[in-house]
Structure 1
């Protein structure tokens, strides 16, 4: 297959090396954790993750997100980079997967995906919903068509990241292909190939409902170059698969206590929400139009009154 260098050039830049930040210079511990990260990580005003709360959210008329080429099956490479487990190789497929729609301007090609988790079930996801966390969160990282990674880092819409929450359940189908290989990447620097991988398996059955906001990477240097799409519907992970994730080792050879960043204030940003039931044809119907008009009017009145 492809060489590890070509597969992971972009993922490594995105995850462990932004503008001179080396893999070994940061982590999630007391001495090297998020509280010590420099630059935009400390001073940026559009940082990620955030706590998605009703009071900060507006209903928005956005198209669905189109996941093009996500049903393909091909080979990818999974690597433990010392901070997470990242899977890449999609850019070398004959028809690389990409996303469009969802208020994105253009096509964004899938570069890699990775996971965040914690040691306890009540924490692990980077984003929160009303102050509550899921036990893990998956990020699908996309690069805007026509841009280099350096160019993308300097644009507010250079990257599009799709966040997917993971909830503990009996079904482990979404992560099955990946879970079968997790034991091969326990230690930092380990990597392995997955012969047959279908990106669509990482998405919930319903992707119509999602949250949209402008934010940043959640790792150094926290570049504010990301259009975030956080899917409202989670996928499932089994207790066994979650235990496998929790055995992954960091740069020091220790199991991660956590590898998620704390949430940040919105600083004036608003979160847009597309409900699953929104449909242009239904919106044209009188009953749906009236219902939606009442919802919008109520939101506006609440803002004026309070």
Structure 2
């Protein structure tokens, strides 16, 4: 494209139009127009999604985040409450290894007030070495309560909130060049969470708090001498909670591998007050100054997620997780149609039960809303999340399983689920001018099965019914009936909850697929057989 560089968003629509006009002699006009429209939509989306004011309270507060940032109303959100029933002991979790955290005092770091928190920039040589990829440090920041209510941590343990919380944010530097590129990728970020309680004076934190009065107002920054960042972390890095979650501020991308340390660090009452009383969310020029306090997000639903822990808590918490290879076999059986083998091999216990499990979150208890895409948009199909080669992750594996049986392992590690691209695709497929709620629900329906399956294979989620429905979307309904029979034999199920067979049939009907006969009863196999696409089976 020469100097126009249409591969990147331009800074103004005028520049885009001029660029297309100048290139008219070297491009086919239709291709030209398509590129222009694509950039126009992207530019519109970016201008709408960035630079929009958001706050923790007031008209732009947390309840309104999803109007501009739909993932904030989506799934796999953070923070969460580490309830005992969500915890699962994983003896394979290694102690966290942080490298190059002891910075030279000759180095300078930038400490700033961004209007939402106090943030310290970090050099990328700092990294976590105990994860599958190298995660390089980018910044750390804080969340806290108020002088009258020193309960401002984002995560909680069985409902107990701490005074504050520190997040050390890292990005996957093996795969992405910087944190901006990594932020909206499914495997892009890893955050170390440190719970902070009121107690003894902590000299390590004074290396930041000593400069707090020089960044009172939004956008103010100051250079501070570097120090040993490790001194801000708990003494023990081998005890922690681990789960798949999201950014806790807009745009709330579910791109974070969370590690929250079990043992809090302490700061004194005086240190806490210096953080909670000195700062403003407003710039110095504003007439009405707003104090920067209570900058924490409310607790989010669990969404069928599990929380892996690296410790036993002394109360018998020794539930072992199911090995990932068994979970892969479950997915392979579902894809290949070997449903009877699930019970023969004792793996049917890994399938979800429809009865409510305490602490399982809204994706378990609010199943009546799981068809929101079909109900809201009866003539549209659920948008497929696509991998880099343009094929659906599940459809691609489906074709491979037909050719190779169960020889290949299902493991979507090659996929890069890009949430910005997903949102743009969803908005494009919604006709007319969709409401904010419609966009949120469409994004939620599109992203949950992908995240749930990947998290399930890593043992950090339960396999949700909506994900099973997604896996079976190319199946005949008699195949779904076989699964229904398997679930019935294993389950002790709550009959008031819609069955897998009913859900698949309902989806087919609402998608505009005709049925072979008029439905006579909800369990009539003949009446629930839509004309689905023919597929081949290994068995």
- Shorter-chain-normalised TM-score: which range? 0.7 to 0.9
Determine the structure 2 residue equivalent to 1:226.
256
Distance (Å, rounded) in 1 between the aligned partners of 2:492 and 2:101: 45
Q: Is the contact made by 2:312 and 2:318 (CA closer than 8 Å) also made in structure 1?
A: no
Which secondary structure state, in structure 2, belongs to the residue aligned with residue 109 of structure 1? strand
CA displacement, residues 26-84 of structure 1 (integer Å, 9 cap, x when unaligned): 01112111111023444321000001111001001211111111123332110001110
Determine the structure 1 residue equivalent to 2:111.
78
CA root-mean-square deviation:
2.8
Corresponding position: 1:35 with 2:63: yes
Distance (Å, rounded) in 2 between the aligned partners of 1:173 and 1:161: 23
Distance (Å, rounded) in 2 between the aligned partners of 1:231 and 1:156: 22
Distance (Å, rounded) in 1 between the aligned partners of 2:321 and 2:192: 30
Q: CA deviation at 1:86?
A: 0.3
Distance (Å, rounded) in 1 between the aligned partners of 2:202 and 2:274: 12
Equivalent residue runs for 1:215-254 within 5 Å: 215-246=245-276, 247-251=278-282, 253-254=289-290
Q: CA deviation at 1:224?
A: 0.8
Determine the structure 2 residue equivalent to 1:131.
159
Determine the structure 2 residue equivalent to 1:14.
none
Distance (Å, rounded) in 2 between the aligned partners of 1:239 and 1:212: 29
Q: CA deviation at 1:266?
A: 0.8
> Unmatched 5+ residue regions in structure 2?
1-44, 283-287, 323-348, 350-356, 358-490, 494-539
Structure 2-normalised TM-score?
Answer: 0.46
Equivalent residue runs for 1:14-163 within 5 Å: 21-22=49-50, 25-38=53-66, 39-61=69-91, 62-73=93-104, 74-91=107-124, 96-101=125-130, 104-119=131-146, 120-146=148-174, 147-148=176-177, 149-163=179-193
Determine the structure 1 residue equivalent to 2:535.
none
- How many pairs were matched up? 267
Q: CA deviation at 1:253?
A: 2.9
- Which is richer in helix? 2
- Which is richer in strand? 1
Distance (Å, rounded) in 2 between the aligned partners of 1:40 and 1:217: 13
> Unmatched 5+ residue regions in structure 1?
1-17, 278-290
Q: 1:80 to 1:23 in 2, by over 3 A?
A: farther
CA displacement, residues 63-121 of structure 1 (integer Å, 9 cap, x when unaligned): 11111111233321100011101000413xxxx110122xx321101100000011144
Distance (Å, rounded) in 2 between the aligned partners of 1:28 and 1:297: 39
Determine the structure 2 residue equivalent to 1:255.
291
Q: CA deviation at 1:256?
A: 2.3
Which secondary structure state, in structure 2, belongs to the residue aligned with residue 174 of structure 1? helix
Distance (Å, rounded) in 1 between the aligned partners of 2:171 and 2:320: 37
Q: CA deviation at 1:238?
A: 1.4
Q: CA deviation at 1:232?
A: 0.6
Corresponding position: 1:295 with 2:309: no
Which secondary structure state, in structure 2, belongs to the residue aligned with residue 242 of structure 1? helix
Q: CA deviation at 1:240?
A: 1.4
Q: 1:297 to 1:106 in 2, by over 3 A?
A: closer
Q: Is the contact made by 1:138 and 1:166 (CA closer than 8 Å) also made in structure 2?
A: yes
Distance (Å, rounded) in 1 between the aligned partners of 2:231 and 2:46: 33
